[in-house]
Structure 1
Amino acid sequence: MAMVINTNMGAMNAQRTLNTSALEQSTSMARLTSGLRINGAADDAAGLAVVTGMNTQSIGTQQSIRNANDAVGMIQTMDGAAEEVVNMLQRMRELSLQSMNGTYNNDNRDQMQSEFKQLQSEVVRVADTTKFNGMNVMNASSFSAGALSVGQISAGTIASVGNASAGNNFKAHVGWEGGHTNRIGVAMLDFGTLTSLTSADVRLMSGNPASVTFASAVGFASAAVSAIDSDLAAISTMRANWGAIQNRLDYTVSNLANVDENINASRSRIEDADFAKESANLARTQVLQQAGMSMLSQANQNSQSVLSLLR
């Protein structure tokens, strides 16, 4: 090999090797600092595209879980209020049966009517004021197409109104994508339409108690019992539907959580840094850096031997 001084091939080779090991060292340090294998598109372009899609799905899935849980909370609010309405209707029915008994006079029935009327007013108040996030959930003011009247309650009507592709009804969005297939519709009940709430038609007494015959009083109470039974049947049907939807939403949340877990596991395998591997690579590049610096210094010293030829 010729001895030259203008071109130090040993130094150039050492510099090239040092640049390579410095780049590897920088990459390892970035991965160990961030905990990510992919810190930029250049690290793994295809992997970054896949991870971006997975992150999109994961974020959407987590929001869908919150959506479903919020829907469960809304249904529980409606069901809790319906439970209190049922309790009041049961008391109204009890008063109706009590007033049929011949041991009570019309003044007693008039006193029963006073409580009966107060309960009717309270059911109306509950129906008008029960809200979830500012929206009425017991009348038709917030979800006009989805709030059924008592006379409309049937399995077929509930299924139709609860259709996820229906109009202005309540729908829980429980998917990370758009479209009606990612929604669950919920039929609601307009409690203002209960047949037992109209005091002029459903009552235990009317007018002057002294002028009401026993047969008329029994007739009032019998009509009230029939109206209350009709309302209780409608509410029971609707509450059964709400319970079924709540159970469905619980399974939906469980499935979404399982999907999100597996998506994140897959994303981790692509994006997250392997600390054992990167730590070992960092140690290797640090040794190479030290050795490379030593060899660069040695290569620079080699050209000094040419001076011995000039003495």
Structure 2
Amino acid sequence: MALTVNSNLASLSGQYQLNKTQQATKQVLAQLASGSKLNSAADNAANLAIAQQLQAQINGNNQAINNASDGASLVQTADGALSQLQSNTQQIQTLAIQAGNGALSSSNRQALQQQVDQLTQANSQIVQSTQFNGTPLLTGGNAATFQVGPNGTSSNQVTVPGIDLSGAPASGGLNSYNANLGATKTIDITTQANALTAQQSTQSDLGTISSQRATLGSVSNSFDAVINNLQSSNISTQAANSRINDTDFAAASAQLASQQILGRSAALTQAQANIAPQAALSLLG
């Protein structure tokens, strides 16, 4: 190779290699600092696109889990109210059966009627006041639909059927409900004949409540199944995203050490390359 001064090819080659090493070191340091192998599209454009899609899936699943959890809470609130209505109605039924006892006097039945009035007023109050986030649960009959998947399709939705216990008994309402919360004799047991009718009314109410609770139970199971499925899906998706996106610290640390050694070697080589042209001066001595 010719001995020249104006063009130091060895130095230029050394600069090129040193620059490559510095860029590689910079990339590894970014991976170690961020914990991600994909800090820009230049790192791996295809993998970055895949990782973004996986992350969108994860985010959608997480929000769907929150939605399903809210739906489960709504169902639990409604079922808790129905459970209390069921307990109160069973007490009314017991009092109605007791009022059918021929040994009781009119005043005895009046005392029983006062207990029934308290229970029907309590039932009416529960029906009117049971809400979830301001939405009535036992009046109005409005269904609530929850998005429980990352895709906007009907297969990713769970609907809680509407309930209306404030209407006519023939339409699914309760005999023990009265819009006037202070009403008395909503269910009348002051006579044996009335007590018999009351027993039939409470039996009808118990059937209505049981049917609604059964429906809510199936919806609650649906929410539980959805949450379990989404959590399982998220584990798999997180694992796939981690393989593509997360920094392998063991490998990156080893790579950093290698690049640092190469960087020092390149710097020393560059120093030697810069000294080499001085040999031309000896020819002039």
Say whether residues 1:239 and 2:213 are aligned partners. yes
Match of 1:310 in 2: 284
Q: Alignment RMSD, CA only? A: 1.3
2:51 is matched by which residue type in structure 1? Answer: V
1:45-103 CA distance string (max 9 Å, x none) = 11111111111110010011111111111111111111111111111111111111011
1:113 is matched by which residue type in structure 2? Answer: Q
Instruction: Give the CA deviation at 1:306.
Output: 0.8
Q: Which runs of 4+ in 1 moved over 4 A?
A: 198-201
Counterparts in 2 of 1:105-254, with a 5 A limit?
105-140=105-140, 147=141, 169-192=143-166, 193-197=173-177, 202-205=187-190, 217-254=191-228
Q: Percent identity?
A: 33
> How many Å separate the matches in 2 of 1:300 and 1:186?
79
1:29-54 CA distance string (max 9 Å, x none) = 00011110100011111111111111
Instruction: Give the CA deviation at 1:201.
Output: 6.3
Structure 2 residue runs without a partner (length 5+): 167-172, 179-183
Q: Secondary structure at the match of 2:146?
A: strand
Counterparts in 2 of 1:241-280, with a 5 A limit?
241-280=215-254
Q: 1:284 to 1:91 in 2, by over 3 A?
A: same
> How many Å separate the matches in 2 of 1:197 and 1:218?
22
> How many Å separate the matches in 1 of 2:245 and 2:187?
69
Contact conserved, 2:51 with 2:241, CA < 8 A, in 1?
A: yes
- Range with greater deviation from structure 2 (29-38 or 192-201): 192-201
> How many Å separate the matches in 2 of 1:197 and 1:38?
63
Match of 2:41 in 1: 41
> How many Å separate the matches in 1 of 2:282 and 2:186?
126
> How many Å separate the matches in 2 of 1:175 and 1:300?
64
Q: How many residues matched? A: 274
- Range with greater deviation from structure 2 (192-201 or 114-123): 192-201
Contact conserved, 2:117 with 2:186, CA < 8 A, in 1?
A: no
Structure 1 residue runs without a partner (length 5+): 141-146, 148-167, 206-216
1:83 is matched by which residue type in structure 2? Answer: S
2:189 is matched by which residue type in structure 1? Answer: L
Contact conserved, 1:130 with 1:137, CA < 8 A, in 2?
A: yes
Match of 1:152 in 2: none
